[in-house]
Chains A and B, each alone.
Chain A
Amino acid sequence: MNKLIQGKVWKLGDDIDTDIIIPTQFLALKTVEEMKKFAFYPLRPDLPGLIKPGDIIVAGKNFGCGSSREQAPAILAALGVGCVIAKSYARIFYRNAFNNGLLLLESAELTDVANEGDTVSVNLETNRISLEDQQFAIMPVPDDLLEMVAAGGLVPFMRKRNAK
């Protein structure tokens, strides 16, 4: 997997729940591709049209709390989000994200200093995040999880492994 990620910041607050990421009313759409147009609908319905592949979502604490809906990380992955950097995550969302090829990173510091539109760089070799001249350490993500993210999630990762 590419160990360098650089992207434009979309900034969100604390406790962004999965009902905000994708409301229940859109969960019976047939595909994640159709659903992704309604990402963040109650909070910022404009975001799906603005997020470009590789962009980074920066948020506060407890990102992804609430419902177990796996469509929440799946649509962020489908929008091409490069990674999410938050102060902390809710547990069901955390597992679902990696299983869908969405990289989650934790930083206690970045959220407080990053603004929407900033450019943030993540180096997964040195485990550091840079914002202009500021640098913050992140906890390393184990290689097998990074491989799973690179493969696009648990299903393609298992298929690839089983094909060997």
Chain B
Amino acid sequence: MGYTLAEKLLMKNTGKTSLKPGELLTVNVDRVMVHDLFAPFVIEKFREMGFAKVWDVNKIVFIYDHLVPTSFIEDSRHHKITDQFAAEQGIKNVHRADGVCHQLMPELRYVTPGNVVFGTDSHTTTYGAVGAFAAGIGYTEMAAIFGTGRLWIKVPATMRINVNGKLPKGVYAKDIILRIIGDIGVDGATYKAMEFGGTTIRELSVAGRMTLCNMAVEAGAKVGMVEPDEKTFTFSGVNGKEFGYLQSDPDAVYEKVIDYDASQLRPVVACPSNVDKVKDVEELNGVKIDQAFLGSCTNGRLEDLEVAAGILKGRKIAPYVRFIVTPASRSVFAEAVKRGIISTLMEAGAIVTPPACGLCCGRSGGIVSDGERVIASNNRNFLGRMGGPKSEIFLASPATVAASALEGKIVDPRSYLQ
């Protein structure tokens, strides 16, 4: 009997020679990420538990992104508490304004293939794009890892999703994952490992794979993963020869296998206020918007900004639309400036914000009022996520966001693509 990617990674981590979904395991944690919003709570629990020193200063990464730049008087308190704790413990991996945590962890190679990683954020699943087993947890369990370097988990059953063939023009990783969630539902993969494979996935960049794994949690998954390949090894700066084991066995046992023909996929939109309310973009054609948002750990990477700039070059957005662009990290921002992408977006009418969580979590940089509609490239369209409880969020690819910003209404991006 063979094993899936997640199972093989967990066997390697624990030294076990066999395991089964549902089995409880204590894993050795390779890296943890804590962001500024929850850091004070982790620190408080760590102390309440009676720990004095963290288990490994090199394995802890603090990223300030939810409260950057601060928007309320009390926000910087979170940074002060975390700075003080990091100094006292000797933790050097503190990023104070370098970008969104889930972009930075793989980009800065804190997460590499084969790692077991936990973060105090549900979108920690993103790191499965580089062949890591990565999941979100709460602050109490994170405090226990700070003290021990270990955590118990239940081995998830694996759901394999094959996507094969060539993606049509105007269809991106975002459309693939929204289609999948639309089909299986927001609890369709609860507690499971979602393993994405097939020729279409192989063709995707690491950035595109990050979009898929980022949103695995929107179907309830514990982790989302892609088998690492040469692209991954180059991205992560590791020798691929050491990671041959990170492939599902041909006779792996999956709880479910779902197959997609890429050529049949279309640009889609997730309607308010659940991620599985997915419709073809044509069905929403003409729905007026007040704001467009391009950014986040889902779709704020260079190729996302580039697609939008391609559509907006030499054009102006609708006069009544506020178009917010938030690069996912400082290096994405710098590279987009260098390539002229930022000036193209700004000339089209974009408001470019610093790389951080900002609008995606409804904390700053484009909060909307009741009655307003947003077309957005991020991962959640929950009730009131970006402001007023009667505002509406529609999730789509960067191309659909850019084309909709131009026309001031939701439109199919394909007419703007050569």
Q: Verify that A and B bind, or say they do not.
A: yes
| Chain A interface residues toward B at CB < 8 A | 15, 17, 19-20, 23-25, 27-30, 41-43, 61-62, 65-71, 88, 90-92, 95-96, 99-100, 153-155, 158-159, 162
What are the interface flags for B222-241 relative to A under an 8 Å C-beta threshold, 1 for contact and 0 otherwise?
A: 10000000000000000000
Scan B326-339; emit 1 where CB is below 8 A from any A CB, else 0: 00000000000000
CB within 8 A of B220: which of A29, A65, A69, A95?
A65
**Which of B19-27, B185-193, B201-209, B295-303 touches A?**
B185-193
Which chain B positions have C-beta within 8 A of A100?
A: 140
Interface pairs (29), CB distance under 8 Å: A17-B382, A19-B382, A20-B382, A20-B384, A24-B66, A24-B385, A28-B67, A28-B77, A43-B389, A65-B186, A66-B122, A67-B121, A68-B122, A68-B136, A69-B138, A70-B138, A70-B139, A71-B41, A90-B187, A91-B190, A91-B191, A91-B220, A92-B122, A95-B137, A96-B138, A99-B138, A99-B140, A158-B49, A159-B49
B272 to chain A, nearest CB (A): 12
Residue of B nearest to A100 (CB): B140
Identify the B interface with A (CB < 8 A): 37-38, 41, 45, 48-50, 66-67, 72, 74-75, 77-78, 119-122, 124, 135-141, 143-144, 186-187, 190-191, 220, 222, 274, 361-363, 380, 382-385, 389
Task: From known contacts A28-B72, A28-B78, A158-B49, infer whether A23 and B136 are also in contact, taking CB-CB under 8 Å.
Answer: no
Q: Given A91-B190, A96-B138, A159-B49, is A68 in contact with B120 using a C-beta cutoff of 8 Å?
A: yes
B121:A62 contact, CB within 8 angstroms: no
Whether A155 touches B361, Cβ cut-off 8 Å, given contacts A19-B385, A65-B220, is no
Q: Are B186 and A62 in contact, CB atoms less than 8 angstroms apart?
A: yes
- Give CA–CA (A100, B383) in the complex, Å: 25
Please report the C-alpha to C-alpha distance between residue A23 and residue B367 in the assembled complex, in whole angstroms. Answer: 13
Nearest A residue to B191, CB-CB: A91
| A155-B45 contact, Cβ under 8 Å, with A19-B380, A95-B138 | yes
Contacts A96-B138, A159-B48; is A20 near B383 (CB within 8 Å)?
Answer: yes
Query: Cβ of B382: which chain A residues have Cβ within 8 Å of it?
Result: 17, 19-20, 66
- Is there an interface contact between A25 and B140, defined as CB atoms closer than 8 Å? no
Q: For A30, list chain B residues within 8 Å (CB).
A: 74, 77
A99 to B384, CA, bound (A): 27
Chain B residues lying within 8 Å of A29, measured Cβ to Cβ, are 74
Residues of A near B119 (CB, < 8 A) are 68
Contacts of A95 in B (CB 8 A): 137-138, 141
A44's nearest neighbour on chain B, judged by CB, is B389
Give complex CA distance A154, B143 in Å: 11
Other CB < 8 Å A-B pairs besides A30-B74, A65-B220, 20 of them? A19-B384, A23-B384, A24-B361, A25-B363, A28-B72, A41-B389, A42-B384, A62-B186, A62-B187, A66-B122, A67-B121, A67-B122, A70-B38, A70-B138, A71-B41, A92-B136, A92-B137, A96-B138, A99-B141, A155-B45
| Nearest CB of chain A from residue B382's CB, rounded to whole Å | 4
In chain A, what residue has the closest Cβ to B391?
A42
Question: B187: which A residues are within 8 A, CB to CB?
Answer: 15, 61-62, 65, 88, 90
User: Nearest chain-B residue to A43 (Cβ)?
Assistant: B383
CB distance from A95 to the nearest CB of B (A): 7
Residues on A with beta carbons closer than 8 Å to the beta carbon of B274? 15
Counting from the closest, the 3 A-B pairs by CB-CB distance are A42-B384, A70-B138, A42-B389
Residue numbers in A under 8 Å from B380 (CB-CB): 17, 19, 66
Chain B neighbourhood of A70, CB < 8 A: 38, 41, 138-140
Most interface-central of A19, A68, A100 (chain B CB within 10 A): A68
Contact indicator B383/A68 (Cβ below 8 Å)? no
Provide the residues of chain B in CB contact with A19, threshold 8 Å. Answer: 362, 380, 382-385
The answer to whether A68 and B222 touch across the interface, beta carbons within 8 angstroms, is no
Q: Which of chain A's residues have a CB closer than 8 A to the CB of B190?
A: 62, 88, 90-91
User: A92: which B residues are within 8 A, CB to CB?
Assistant: 122, 135-138
Q: How far is the CA of A23 from the CA of B50 in the complex (A)?
A: 30
